[in-house]
Structure 1
Amino acid sequence: MALSKKQIERLIAVSRYYYQDDLSQQEIAQKMNLSRPTVSKSLQLARENQIVTIKIQDPFENTAVIREQLQEKYRLKDVVIAEQANYDEQGILEQLGAVTADYLDRIVTDGVTIGINWGRTMEAVANHLHPSHNRDVQLVQLKGSVTNSSETNYSADITQKFNQAFHTQASLLPLPIIFGDAQVKQLAMQDQFISQVVAKGNAADIALYTVGTTRPTAMLFQSGYLDADQITQLRTASVGDVLSHYITADGALAEPDLDARTVAISLDQLAKKRYAILIAGGQAKLQSIHAALVGGHANVLIVDQAVAKSLLAL
């Protein structure tokens, strides 16, 4: 409906009184000798005709503010927030992978050692890596990679793509994620080759990892090393895992006996890294991300926008 000049002038006047002068609709009606319903309709028409537009300034949409607040809350050296168009899990992974690859371009220098993990998040990072111009970069696996499951953990593909990007050959840890017996694990760790790989992982400058959940579909639950009773216990006692170390809501080890059979860099060693980079997103991982951060298991967080906001609310 086309508005006359007189109608537009009235809409502008009503809008100024309401939005700029903070008068109530009743006060405007008395001031302009109009009925209250007419004032209400005028405000609606003003918005419909773009005379008035509403813009909500959400401070949490300012990623710079979110970054600072997350750094302060969790005592982090850096936070990177990936742009997020929607809540699609694969879309979030792609964004996380892209910004992590960019972040590596900034922090990787000649001669550094990068510790890598496996899984869908790390696969997304590997897919977005750029060819590096740095020299003598070394790669090392931070945990065992052999599983009893036919479901892929992307370990081989991730390693190949990291090797190509950094022009090197990763040191592999060709052991099960979890041994059936702690003593057998200790014997395996004493092997000269294995102990060298572990030492290299402990000395790595950069550690890249994500967190797991306790959802029934969690990759570790599909690995074939945990029976139904163990999975039930973990779903009760923990909120997820950090490099296959299951943790409680406050970031402590949830099952020390299981942890004694787990092949992965220790949480204590992880905390010593120059860059202990936690890459994770999606609301399903919110509690495990929070637990890893309050436990001090990361000093850099790469996360999506929605989870970044949710972390501040916890």
Structure 2
Amino acid sequence: MQKIVDDSRLIVKCCKLYYEENYTQNEIASILGVSRPTVSRLLKEGKETGIVRIEIINPLRNNFESLERKIEKLFGMKEVIIVEDEADDRLQTIQVAKAAAEYLMRIVKPGNTIGVSMGNTVKCIANYIANPGKLNLTFVPFIGGVGQSQREIHPNEIITDLARAFGGSFKLLHAPAVVSNENIRKEILKETSIKEVLDYAKLCNIGLVGVGSPTDPASSMMSSGYFNLYDTSNLDKAGAIGDICLRFYDIEGNTDRFEFNKRVVGIEMEALKRIETMIGVACGEKKVMAIIGALHSKLINVLVTNYSSATAISDYAEQR
């Protein structure tokens, strides 16, 4: 039988029928008098030789896909989602929260358990959950309650909002987020009700956490009431660059050097690293170094942030 896949005229005719006139491969096989596998090979040859060029036109105003993929590769991330820059901090927080809500609705599966920390951006996510359907989700806090200054960023408040938005259930953690020393923490963790909730948190399929910055007086961490400017100054001198679930880490993501971490009532860091999908949400210039430390720590494997922050993260990694 004559070899026909090198017949340029036939390749062009096959490609025109398929791409311009929308015939199926079976229909083209009948028209040309060849087998369907031969049609498939002709179409492949058309692409490989440049007879057919496929161009993808992104309808979005800005295409951040290249930068997203770059950061994913640099830090070994599962996914990076970048949103437009906004001039106003409040609007920037809303844009990141919306993107995080969309991602959460995309990946969540029926019966999932979702762990949540504190944070202003994390708090906003529930506002943008729409028509989730019946998923039978359970929400659980990763840490105890923060100070009295801002009740709305209390983890129990946040999971209640998310459970309401998804029509799911929740478990509350009735414990302080921070105690005065490690021994008190150990005793608190022996309490059955507290132990049960934190053990349940280890079963989470998804984690949703904010990324804090100890050098930002306006951060949720400062709003918690557990810290003052003197504390944050000392943390800065010790090399603290950020926190997740009130556990501090340095620029390389190391958490062991900070004694404060031993006073936090919440899920252990190693347990967080075992959760399949850990979503970190953070934006703004003051959070860039904290995000870099979080990426190094491997406490998160999904990042939602804004364009300027993502650019700074990429530049930092390349300079290293």
Q: Who is 2:259 aligned against?
A: 257
Q: Who is 1:282 aligned against?
A: 284
TM-score, structure 2 normalization:
0.74
User: 1-side partners of 2:229 and 2:82: how far apart?
Assistant: 36
User: 2-side partners of 1:182 and 1:63: how far apart?
Assistant: 44
User: 2-side partners of 1:213 and 1:253: how far apart?
Assistant: 14
Matching residue's letter, 2:83: A
Structure 1 residues 150 and 129: CA distance shift in structure 2, 3 A: closer
Q: How far is 1:165 from its partner?
A: 1.9
Whether the 8 Å contact between 2:139 and 2:170 is mirrored in structure 1 is yes
Q: Who is 2:183 aligned against?
A: 183
Q: Who is 1:193 aligned against?
A: 193
User: 1-side partners of 2:104 and 2:157: how far apart?
Assistant: 19
Q: Who is 1:225 aligned against?
A: 226
What whole-Å deviation, never above 9, does each CA across 1:179-210 have from its counterpart, x for those lacking one?
01211111111111111100111110000001
Q: Who is 1:272 aligned against?
A: 274
Matching residue's letter, 1:136: N
Q: Who is 2:211 aligned against?
A: 211
Matching residue's letter, 2:272: L
Correspondence 1:245 to 2:247: yes
Q: Who is 2:123 aligned against?
A: 123
User: 2-side partners of 1:138 and 1:116: how far apart?
Assistant: 11
Q: How far is 1:279 from its partner?
A: 0.9
| Superposed counterparts of 1:24-43, under 5 Å | none
| Superposed counterparts of 1:1-314, under 5 Å | 62-84=63-85, 86-149=86-149, 152-153=152-153, 155=155, 157-214=157-214, 215-226=216-227, 229-237=230-238, 238-253=240-255, 255-314=257-316
Structure 1 residues 114 and 211: CA distance shift in structure 2, 3 A: same
Structure 1 residues 254 and 223: CA distance shift in structure 2, 3 A: farther
TM-score, structure 1 normalization:
0.75
Matching residue's letter, 2:169: Q
User: 2-side partners of 1:300 and 1:145: how far apart?
Assistant: 25
Matching residue's letter, 2:312: S
User: 1-side partners of 2:122 and 2:268: how far apart?
Assistant: 19
Whether the 8 Å contact between 1:83 and 1:305 is mirrored in structure 2 is yes
User: 1-side partners of 2:177 and 2:152: how far apart?
Assistant: 14
Q: How far is 1:228 from its partner?
A: 5.6
Q: How far is 1:167 from its partner?
A: 1.7
Q: Name the SS for the 1:96 alignment partner.
A: helix
Structure 1 residues 98 and 150: CA distance shift in structure 2, 3 A: closer
